[in-house]
């Protein structure tokens, strides 16, 4: 992908805002690259569309090219989709004994992952774990798990010949309860392909133990197949998370993206080898970097953006010191507040601002109000923002209507702008402003 995009991006070197054409050209290549990384076609298509909407019209940060900017946007979006909700690597295993059901196709890495996860839960989380193999079909499958158990020092359910998968599951539950285990893990049998008998058996096991976590173990190198398997298992059994194995291989990990996009289920862990300690918490950033293969550009853009923000703050401060504080300034302050967790956070950082903070609290400045205030400013024209003195009754009405708020709200906002302007001016004289702004950055 690097070389491919590199070529395109060399051609996109104008500065300013990202044009339709910039974005389209870059994304055409991104799409091909995603497909090459084994991302499924519809997922790649949706992804590119989402990025296109986000990227077009975005300002290009000084000192980087539009192409580099697009890479950063693509990377952020990838990471966003890969992350989803919840913490990767966390499992719901309270209420002992908590059943964890391991499902997937044969050869995907279920048994290996069962061992790895049992080891991790034992060593890292201090849990008492019992493992049981429900694979009554493959010769010596149950023994395979028993051997792993001995290796890693985790108990396995004694093997009883002739039992069904459901019978083994029930016995595991009983043993886990009696033996005071925190967790019991059920390693189910797989098939080479999904079939009705397999699904029915897993359903029966699920109903017998009501698992806290149902983890789908899939080979991360199988790309599209992995996604189909995930859809199928999620539809029939209902999974709570995914473990992608063989991520130590040279695949680009595109399956991770498709998997997230199609099932919406979190990827919890990745298998990084055959050894029992080769299980890692899923890290969206790393996988996004791998799918895209352009980590250095992403870092460069982040650095450039930081520098620009600092420069902007410096420029703003100079204006404040001169007593210039218009609606554009107020808007960026409000946005900054949103980022930093509201008014209190900011005022708390400014010396001697206790009284002002109380006043603001009295005015009810919280996140919702910040949003409303920003909406009010957005309904103003450019000229009005630069010069709020223009705002007479009819303009006020128009703005209030445009943002769905009352004129009284707008008046409050105007008062705030005046107050803050005065405050900034005063602080500027004493050199306090500089100090305060430093604290905010
Ligand atoms: P199951 O049929 O789903 O139980 O799959 P197994 O756990 O028996 O694994 C099948 C093969 O894949 C074994 O040779 C494992 O050592 C190997 N394997 C499992 N996970 C990984 C992984 O993350 N990386 C690599 N390189 N090999 C793995
Ligand atoms: Mg197995």
Provide the token pair at 74. Answer: 């693509």
Boundary (domain end) residue, out of 53, 84, 115:
84
Judgement on whether residues 244 and 337 belong to the same structural domain of the protein = no
Q: What's residue 321's pLDDT?
A: 75
Which ligand 1 atom lies nearest to the CA of residue 272? Answer: 23
Q: By alpha-carbon position, which residue is closest to atom 13 of ligand 1?
A: 109
Judgement on whether residues 267 and 382 belong to the same structural domain of the protein = no
Q: What is the CATH number of the domain that holds 25?
A: 1.20.120.140
Q: Let me know if residue 317 belongs to a domain.
A: no
- Per-residue buried b or exposed e for 30-46, using 16+ beta carbons within 10 Å of the residue's own CB: bbebbbebbbbeebbee
Q: What is the CATH number of the domain that holds 395?
A: 1.10.260.30
Let me know if 417 is exposed, middle or buried by CB neighbors in 10 A (0-12, 13-18, 19+).
Answer: buried
d(CA 259, CA 232): 12
Residue 127 CB–ligand 1 contact under 6 Å: no
Q: 104 CA to middle of ligand 2, Å?
A: 9
Q: Let me know if residue 89 belongs to a domain.
A: no
Residue 109 CB–ligand 1 contact under 6 Å: yes
Judgement on whether residues 327 and 213 belong to the same structural domain of the protein = no
Query: Which ligand places an atom closest to the C-alpha of 133?
Result: 2
Judgement on whether residues 109 and 249 belong to the same structural domain of the protein = yes
Q: 160 CA to middle of ligand 2, Å?
A: 17
Judged against a pLDDT cut of 60, whether residue 73 lies above it is answered with: yes
Mean pLDDT of the chain: 82
CB 231 within 8 Å of CB 263: yes
Which residues contribute to the annotated binding site for GTP? 104-111, 187-191, 245-248
Q: Let me know if residue 304 belongs to a domain.
A: no
Q: Let me know if residue 378 belongs to a domain.
A: yes
- Listing from the earlier edge strand, what are the strands of the sheet with 267-271? 155-156, 129-133, 183-187, 98-103, 213-219, 241-245, 267-271, 279-281
Judgement on whether residues 45 and 167 belong to the same structural domain of the protein = no
Judgement on whether residues 161 and 221 belong to the same structural domain of the protein = yes
Q: 197 CA to middle of ligand 1, Å?
A: 23
Of 120, 81, 117, 111, residue with least CA distance to 265? 81
Q: In this structure, is the dihedral angle defined by the CA atoms of residues 359, 361, 364 and 365, taken in order, positive or negative?
A: positive
Residue 274 CB–ligand 1 contact under 6 Å: yes
- Give the SS3 label for residue 131: strand
Instruction: Give CA 53 to chain center in angstroms.
Output: 19
Judgement on whether residues 117 and 80 belong to the same structural domain of the protein = no
Which ligand 1 atom lies nearest to the CA of residue 279? Answer: 23
Q: Let me know if residue 291 belongs to a domain.
A: no
User: Which residue has tokens 């930081």?
Assistant: 306
Which ligand 1 atom lies nearest to the CA of residue 112? Answer: 7
d(CA 32, CA 74): 13
Residue 248 CB–ligand 1 contact under 6 Å: yes
Q: What's residue 27's pLDDT?
A: 83
Q: What is the CATH number of the domain that holds 166?
A: 3.40.50.300
Judgement on whether residues 107 and 80 belong to the same structural domain of the protein = no
User: Which residue has tokens 């805002």?
Assistant: 17
Which ligand 1 atom lies nearest to the CA of residue 245? Answer: 23
Question: Higher model confidence: residue 64 or residue 335?
Answer: 335
Q: Per-residue pLDDT averaged across 117-125, rounded?
A: 95
What is the interface pTM, i.e. ipTM, of the complex? 0.98
Range of the domain at 64: 2-84
pLDDT > 90: what percent of the chain? 38
Judgement on whether residues 152 and 62 belong to the same structural domain of the protein = no
Boundary (domain end) residue, out of 282, 314, 346:
282
Lowest-pLDDT range of 146-160, 183-197, 351-365, 401-415? 351-365
Boundary (domain end) residue, out of 232, 250, 282:
282
Judgement on whether residues 105 and 254 belong to the same structural domain of the protein = yes
Neighbouring residues of the ion ligand 2, judged by CB less than 5 Å: 110-111
Q: Let me know if residue 51 belongs to a domain.
A: yes
User: Which residue has tokens 């209420």?
Assistant: 95
- What is the DSSP secondary structure assignment for residue 322, as one 8-state letter? T
Which residues contribute to the annotated binding site? 104-111, 187-191, 245-248
The values of phi and psi at residue 197, to 5°, are -60, -45
Q: Per-residue pLDDT averaged across 304-320, rounded?
A: 73
Residue 273 CB–ligand 1 contact under 6 Å: yes
Domain count, the chain: 3
CB 172 within 8 Å of CB 157: yes
Residues contacting residue 143 through CB under 8 Å, at least 6 positions apart: 159
pLDDT > 70: what percent of the chain? 80
Judgement on whether residues 266 and 403 belong to the same structural domain of the protein = no
Q: Per-residue pLDDT averaged across 7-25, rounded?
A: 62
Q: Let me know if residue 301 belongs to a domain.
A: no
Verdict on whether the full-model pTM lies above 0.90: no
Q: What's residue 406's pLDDT?
A: 92
Q: Let me know if residue 314 belongs to a domain.
A: no
Residue 223 CB–ligand 1 contact under 6 Å: no
Judgement on whether residues 33 and 77 belong to the same structural domain of the protein = yes
Query: Which ligand places an atom closest to the C-alpha of 191?
Result: 1
Q: 87 CA to middle of ligand 2, Å?
A: 27
């Amino acid at each position: 992908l690097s070389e491919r995009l590199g070529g395109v991006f060399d051609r996109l070197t104008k500065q300013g805002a990202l044009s339709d054409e910039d974005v389209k050209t870059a994304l055409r290549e991104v799409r091909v690259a995603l497909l090459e990384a084994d991302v499924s076609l519809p997922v790649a298509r949706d992804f590119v569309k989402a990025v296109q909407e986000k990227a077009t019209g975005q300002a290009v940060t000084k000192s980087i090219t539009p192409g580099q900017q697009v890479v950063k946007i693509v990377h952020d979006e990838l990471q966003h989709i890969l992350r989803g909700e919840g913490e990767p690597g966390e499992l719901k295993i309270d209420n002992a004994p908590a059943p964890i059901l391991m499902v997937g196709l044969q050869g995907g890495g279920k048994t290996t992952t069962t061992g790895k996860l049992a080891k991790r839960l034992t060593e890292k989380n201090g849990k008492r774990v019992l493992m049981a193999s429900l694979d009554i079909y493959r010769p010596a499958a149950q023994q395979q798990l028993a051997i792993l158990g001995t290796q890693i020092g985790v108990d396995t359910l004694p093997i009883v010949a002739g039992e069904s998968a459901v019978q083994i599951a029930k016995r595991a539950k009983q043993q886990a309860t009696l033996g005071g285990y925190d967790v019991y893990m059920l390693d189910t049998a797989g098939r080479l392909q999904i079939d009705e008998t397999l699904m029915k058996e897993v359903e029966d096991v699920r109903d017998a133990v009501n698992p806290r976590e149902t983890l789908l173990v899939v080979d991360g190198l199988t790309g599209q197949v992995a996604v189909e398997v995930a859809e199928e298992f999620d539809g029939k059994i209902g999974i709570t998370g995914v473990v992608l194995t063989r991520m130590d291989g040279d695949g680009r990990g595109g399956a991770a993206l498709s998997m997230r996009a199609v099932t919406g289920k979190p990827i919890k862990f990745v298998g990084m080898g055959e050894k029992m300690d080769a299980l890692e918490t899923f890290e969206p950033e790393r996988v996004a970097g791998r799918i895209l293969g352009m980590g250095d550009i992403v870092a460069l853009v982040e650095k450039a953006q930081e520098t620009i923000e600092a420069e902007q703050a410096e420029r703003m401060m100079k204006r404040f010191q001169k007593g210039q504080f218009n609606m554009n300034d107020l808007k960026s302050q409000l946005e900054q507040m949103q980022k930093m967790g509201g008014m209190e956070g900011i005022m708390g950082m400014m010396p001697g601002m206790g009284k002002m903070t109380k006043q603001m609290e009295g005015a009810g400045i919280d996140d919702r109000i910040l949003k409303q205030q920003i909406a009010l400013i957005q309904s103003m024209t450019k000229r009005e923002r630069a010069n709020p003195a223009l705002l007479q009754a009819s303009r006020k009405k128009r703005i209030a209507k445009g943002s769905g708020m009352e004129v009284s709200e707008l008046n409050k906002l105007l008062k705030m702008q005046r107050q803050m302007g005065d405050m900034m001016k005063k602080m500027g004289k004493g050199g306090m402003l500089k100090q305060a702004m430093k604290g905010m950055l």
